[in-house]
């Protein structure tokens, strides 16, 4: 049985964060494990508070898993504070043979709540990008990291090149924030691939980024080659959005299916 580990924040309403990751792992056929970096008080209408987990307990969770278990894939999501990012990086750097790491550089929720503290972007770039096999920023995240405005596919390609120089082996810039079809740009240091998707007409999109990065991490954990892992991950999240549903009064979750 292949397994995958998510290092991320908890979402009390279950649509995003650790909860979405574990559902996406199961649905994509791997056993899921979790290291919780923060607990959010959250529902379909917004995020109302964050409690960061201490760096010692973040390290303790990672060490406990790696002392005992061979991990096949890792997804990193919300790690909101400089000290938390350093704790994750220090624990992972100790591991001799790191599994594939997919980093979703989570910054702001769809409800506009900051999930990465203002001063932590530089630390995220310096500590976690070089450890990553793949990073999956959306357009606002890619803009924040590169300092470059992105308005079209050519800008996305340029940003992917700049992000690649910061250390990750592969880059997926997600195009959902641009108008028109949801085309993502994948860059592996040699080739660009345009991964096309239909725009799905729904408001129930809570947790889409978490779901995509986890589905890709699960695919990599199973031994899939990177472009197939990304393409299959995108197909999965498209179906999960199609089946997204109303839960509570606000933006409902994507639906994980088997």
Q: What residues line the site for ligand PLP (CB under 6 A)?
A: 8-9, 11, 16-17, 40, 42, 77-78, 106, 109-110, 115, 206-210
Q: Which of 37, 205, 211, 231 is catalytic?
A: 205
In the bound state with ligand PLP, the residue whose beta carbon lies nearer, of 68 and 176, is 176
In the bound state with ligand PLP, the residue whose beta carbon lies nearer, of 45 and 69, is 45
Least Å from the CB of residue 93 to ligand PLP: 23
CA diameter of the chain: 47
Catalytic, 73? Answer no
Tokens, residue 155: 């800008």
Dihedral angle of Cα 216, 217, 223, 229, to the nearest 10 degrees: 10
Least Å from the CB of residue 205 to ligand PLP: 6
**Strands of the 46-52 sheet, one edge to the other:** 46-52, 31-43, 3-11, 73-76, 100-103, 134-135, 170-173, 184-187, 192-195
In the bound state with ligand PLP, the residue whose beta carbon lies nearer, of 42 and 84, is 42
* Residue whose beta carbon is closest to ligand PLP: 17
Specify the residue for token string 């393409």. Answer: 231
In the bound state with ligand PLP, the residue whose beta carbon lies nearer, of 109 and 146, is 109
Return d(Cα 75, Cα 10) in angstroms, integer. 14
Catalytic, 252? Answer no
Catalytic, 86? Answer no
Least Å from the CB of residue 35 to ligand PLP: 13
Catalytic, 207? Answer yes
Catalytic, 174? Answer yes
Q: Which of 44, 208, 211, 254 is catalytic?
A: 208
Helix, strand, coil shares, percent, the chain, to 5: 40, 20, 40
Catalytic, 205? Answer yes
Q: What is the DSSP letter of 115?
A: S
Active site residues: 174, 205, 207-210
């Amino acid at each position: 049985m292949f397994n995958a580990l998510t290092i991320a924040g908890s979402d009390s309403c279950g649509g995003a964060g650790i909860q979405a990751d574990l559902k996406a792992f199961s649905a994509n056929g791997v056993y899921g494990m979790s290291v919780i970096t923060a607990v959010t008080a959250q529902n379909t209408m917004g995020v109302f508070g964050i409690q960061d987990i201490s760096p010692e307990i973040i390290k303790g969770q990672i060490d406990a898993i790696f002392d005992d278990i061979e991990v096949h894939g890792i997804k990193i999501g919300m790690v909101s504070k400089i000290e938390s990012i350093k704790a994750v990086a220090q624990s992972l750097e100790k591991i001799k043979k790191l599994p594939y790491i997919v980093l979703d550089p989570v910054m702001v929720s769809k409800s506009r709540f900051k999930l990465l503290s203002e001063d932590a972007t530089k630390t995220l770039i310096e500590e976690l990008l070089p450890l990553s096999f793949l990073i999956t920023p959306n357009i606002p995240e890619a803009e924040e990291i590169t300092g470059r405005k992105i308005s079209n596919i050519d800008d996305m390609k340029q940003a992917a090149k700049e992000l690649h120089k910061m250390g990750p082996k592969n880059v997926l810039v997600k195009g959902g924030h641009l108008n028109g079809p949801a085309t993502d740009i994948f860059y592996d240091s040699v080739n660009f691939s345009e991964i096309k998707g239909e725009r799905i007409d729904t408001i129930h999109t809570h947790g889409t980024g978490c779901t995509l990065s986890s589905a890709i991490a699960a695919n990599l954990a199973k031994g899939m080659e990177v472009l197939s892992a990304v393409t299959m991950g995108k197909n999965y999240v498209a179906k999960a959005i199609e089946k997204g549903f109303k839960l509570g009064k606000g933006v409902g979750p994507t639906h994980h299916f088997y």
